[in-house]
Homo-oligomer: A and B are copies of this chain.
Amino acid sequence: MAAASKPHVVIIGGGFAGLNAAKQLRDADVAVTIVDQHNHHTFQPLLYQVATASLSPADIAGPIRAILRRQTNLSVILAEVTGIDLARGVVHMGTDELAYDYLIIAAGSTDSYFGHDEWEKYAGGLKTLDDAVRMRNQILLGFEAAERAHTDDERRRDMTFAIIGGGPTGVELAGAIAEISRHSISRDFDRIDPRQARIILIDAGPRLLAAYPESLSKHAQSDLERLGVEVRLNALVTSVDERGLTLKSGDRIEAATRLWAAGVQASPLGRAMAVEVDRAGRVLVNPDLSIPGHPNVFVAGDLAALNGKDGKQLPGVAQVAMQQGRAAARNIMRSIAGEATVPFQYKDLGNMATIGRNRAVADIHGIHLHGFIAWVIWLTIHLVNLIGFRNRFVVMTQWIWSYLTFYRRVRLITNPGTAAD
């Protein structure tokens, strides 16, 4: 068969969903094109370790071209997808366009500010490597500013870190910042004692890690409190500005560093198509992940709105994205072979989050673990899933080193121009 006559599968996004879809199509008799606005795949579950100076960007990311180098039926295009014309079957990238026979939209999600987009510039989120480097700058600059502060009020404000959102990202950030201030840099300064830093984790709901079993929420909270983190529950943020934030209770928190981990919304690509989306902008897909009325177009990962067996929306986690990417690819192969597509079934492998340097909570097939054992499982699973043997080896040596010394090697403030504050 001539190359030109092979079905063309376009994948938008090189995240967990897109990458796994591409790999699933490795031996298929199709031409695959993967389009991403970044040249690299990011292992998002470890972004918080870049943001808290434990790992370098290159430790948790790899060039998409290099990851998929051995796949001969695949092209990679570095471009931002600006629109999708479902009627004509083309993807727009600025003035360029790309025709597809089959399309997998795996464009992921961005931070949601619940209608207050103006807060973004005062409290950045954590979705990309650039976000992580910006967050790292902000955290480190907080201590530097405190060292130079002229008044006690200023110093207190510089050393207050408010993390908005008590999901896994917020919990992991709060724990890591506590470790930095209590251990890694505790003796690096002259005029301030970093151990005095205030780390406040704020959530609007009644408990941390709302998606986890209640006993694990409690463990997470008490572990964080032991590290010196203030946990504020049932606390709705009503305004964020360049000096701090205000809660619905009227409480004002003066905090030079404000980090956003409160929620995500789907990529705007969903809303930009004439298809049905939910409130978070996720595309309402058929059980086989295709878009109603467009059997050749599939959505996978954070951009897909689909309920699990329990009738609840599947969570926006790596496991769902990876499984949906593979499922969408398999359904495309079935379509090409003239077979019926099959509904997506999520196989829940569990949830976990670390708290500081040697504790974690994990919910694996209904077994609830916490403390050191959960942390060892967390380490193992994340190392095994990291992309590339090289990265795994580097990350493992960094972790062992940091564990033994409390030392955070990646304490670099770079691109100061881009750091807020």
A residues with a Cβ closer than 8 A to B are: 37-40, 56-59, 61-63, 65-66, 69, 75-79, 96, 129-130, 133, 140-141, 144, 147-148, 185, 187-191, 388, 390-391, 393-394, 397-398, 401, 407, 409-416, 418
5 pairs, A vs B, C-beta closer than 8 Å: A39-B140, A61-B412, A69-B187, A78-B148, A390-B407
Known: A58-B409, A66-B411, A393-B397. 17 other contacts (CB 8 A): A37-B416, A39-B140, A39-B413, A40-B413, A61-B412, A65-B189, A66-B407, A69-B187, A69-B188, A78-B144, A78-B148, A96-B148, A130-B414, A388-B409, A390-B409, A394-B397, A415-B415
A79 cross-chain contacts in B, Cβ below 8 A? 148
Q: Are A129 and B414 in contact (CB under 8 A)?
A: yes
A393 cross-chain contacts in B, Cβ below 8 A? 397
Q: Are B409 and A391 in contact (CB under 8 A)?
A: yes
Contact flag A133-B65 (CB < 8 Å), given A78-B148, A409-B58: no
Contact flag A411-B39 (CB < 8 Å), given A69-B188, A187-B69, A188-B66: yes
Question: How often does this chain occur in the complex, in copies?
Answer: 2
CA distance A79 to B147 in the complex (A): 11
Q: Is chain A's interface secondary structure helix, strand, loop, or mixed overall? A: mixed
Q: Are B56 and A188 in contact (CB under 8 A)?
A: no
CA distance A410 to B187 in the complex (A): 32
For the complex formed, measure the closest distance between the CB of A372 and the CB atoms of chain B, giving whole angstroms. 25
CA distance A189 to B187 in the complex (A): 49
CA distance A144 to B65 in the complex (A): 10
A398 cross-chain contacts in B, Cβ below 8 A? 394
Q: Are A58 and B412 in contact (CB under 8 A)?
A: yes
For the complex formed, measure the closest distance between the CB of A118 and the CB atoms of chain B, giving whole angstroms. 20
Q: Which of B59, B62, B185, B410 contacts A65 (CB 8 A)?
A: B185
A75 cross-chain contacts in B, Cβ below 8 A? 190-191
Q: Are B414 and A133 in contact (CB under 8 A)?
A: yes
For the complex formed, measure the closest distance between the CB of A343 and the CB atoms of chain B, giving whole angstroms. 34
A407 cross-chain contacts in B, Cβ below 8 A? 66, 390
CA distance A191 to B76 in the complex (A): 10
A412 cross-chain contacts in B, Cβ below 8 A? 39-40, 57-58, 61, 63, 129
Chain B, residue nearest A185 (CB):
B65
A-B pairs with lowest CB-CB distance, top 5: A56-B56, A65-B188, A78-B144, A75-B190, A58-B410
A40 cross-chain contacts in B, Cβ below 8 A? 411-413
For the complex formed, measure the closest distance between the CB of A410 and the CB atoms of chain B, giving whole angstroms. 4
A56 cross-chain contacts in B, Cβ below 8 A? 56-59
Q: Are B411 and A148 in contact (CB under 8 A)?
A: no
A148 cross-chain contacts in B, Cβ below 8 A? 77-79, 96
Chain B, residue nearest A37 (CB):
B416
For the complex formed, measure the closest distance between the CB of A389 and the CB atoms of chain B, giving whole angstroms. 10
A416 cross-chain contacts in B, Cβ below 8 A? 37-38
For the complex formed, measure the closest distance between the CB of A185 and the CB atoms of chain B, giving whole angstroms. 7
- The interface centre, meaning the residue of A40, A63, A394, A401 with most chain B CB atoms within 10 A of its CB, is A63
For the complex formed, measure the closest distance between the CB of A74 and the CB atoms of chain B, giving whole angstroms. 8
A147 cross-chain contacts in B, Cβ below 8 A? 76-78
For the complex formed, measure the closest distance between the CB of A151 and the CB atoms of chain B, giving whole angstroms. 13
CA distance A362 to B112 in the complex (A): 56
Q: Are A78 and B413 in contact (CB under 8 A)?
A: yes
A141 cross-chain contacts in B, Cβ below 8 A? 78
- The interface centre, meaning the residue of A393, A407, A411 with most chain B CB atoms within 10 A of its CB, is A411
A66 cross-chain contacts in B, Cβ below 8 A? 188, 407, 411
CA distance A165 to B188 in the complex (A): 40
For the complex formed, measure the closest distance between the CB of A63 and the CB atoms of chain B, giving whole angstroms. 4
A190 cross-chain contacts in B, Cβ below 8 A? 75-76
For the complex formed, measure the closest distance between the CB of A318 and the CB atoms of chain B, giving whole angstroms. 20
CA distance A397 to B391 in the complex (A): 12
Q: Which of B39, B59, B401, B414 contacts A390 (CB 8 A)?
A: B401
